[in-house]
Amino acid sequence: MPKVRVATTSLAGCFGCHMSFLDMDERIVGLLEHVEFSRSPINDIKHCEPCDIGLIEGALCNADNVHVLKEFRENCKILIAVGACAINGGVPAMRNNFTLAECLEEAFLDEIGVDNPQIPNDVEIPLLLSKVHPIHEVVKVDYYLPGCPPPADAFVKILTDLLEGKEPSLPKDMLHYD
């Protein structure tokens, strides 16, 4: 039986969700008997092949994030929004209380100690969106894995459910944080 192909990426995130994913420790060995990884920061593959499952960490804050997200949606049968930033915008969305001009001026022009103040405009640098958005505002998301980060057990549970052909369902203790 061919292995289930999984891709992962971090958009505007802190890679904390990926670290939590790796927190499943030795259970990843058992998982690898059933899955193989396509594009992922874990293996440094740069582009997504057609996949069964895509895990997206992080919010949308720039044009590159939008391109990556669209590549995932086009290639993944099931797309999962992972963590607070992908689901709600999270910490990166705190800049939504300010205009983009205020953010860039504070960082590159007005901040104490800025040398040669200028707003970067190299074509290599992706342009920032005026606001940070959760990913479901741009593509259809099939499942949500909440948490900041979601616990390793929650990754194991959602992937195991999908591998067994079940509708994923997280028990209450994996959804409760207070």
Partner 1 sequence: MTSSYQLNQTDHLLHVLFNEQQKSLHISNAAITSIAAQLNLPRAQVESVVDFYSFFHRTPRGRFDILFSNCTSCGDLKLMQQLCERLQVKPDNTRADGLVSIGQTSCIGMCDHGVSLLVNGITLTSISAQQIDHMAELIEAETALAQWPASWFKVGNNIRKEGLLLASSFEPGGALKAMAGRDGAAIIDEITAAGLKGRGGAGFATGMKWKFCREAQGDTRYVVCNADEGEPGTFKDRILLNSHADTVFEGMTICGSVIGAKQGYLYLRGEYRYMLAALENTLQQRREKGLLGSNILGLGFDFDIHIVIGAGAYICGEESALIESIEEKPGIPRIRPPFPVTQGLWGQPTVVNNVETLVAAARIVLHGHHWFVSSGTWQSRGSKLLSVSGDCARPGIYEYGFGITINEILNDAGAEHVQAVQIGGPAGRLIPADHFEHRIAFEDLATGGSFMIFDHSRDLLEVIHNFARFFAHESCGFCTPCRVGTTLLKNGMDKICSGHGTAHDVDEMNRTAALVSRRSHCGLGMTAPNPIRDGVKYFPELFEARLLHQEMEPEFNLDASLEEARNLTHRDDEEAHL
The residues of the shown chain that bind partner 1, judged by CB under 8 A, are 63, 66, 99-101, 104, 119-121, 123, 126-131, 133, 137-140
Q: How far is the CB of 114 from partner 1 (least distance, A)?
A: 16
Contacts of 8 (CB under 8 A, 6+ apart): 18, 21, 37, 39, 40, 41, 42, 54, 55, 56, 57
Q: How far is the CB of 128 from partner 1 (least distance, A)?
A: 5
Between 80 and 159, name the residue whose CB sits nearer to partner 1.
80
Backbone torsions φ then ψ of 103, nearest 5 degrees: -65, -50
Tokens standing for 147?
């948490």
Q: How far is the CB of 171 from partner 1 (least distance, A)?
A: 19
Between 23 and 64, name the residue whose CB sits nearer to partner 1.
64
Between 62 and 160, name the residue whose CB sits nearer to partner 1.
62
Contacts of 136 (CB under 8 A, 6+ apart): 81, 87
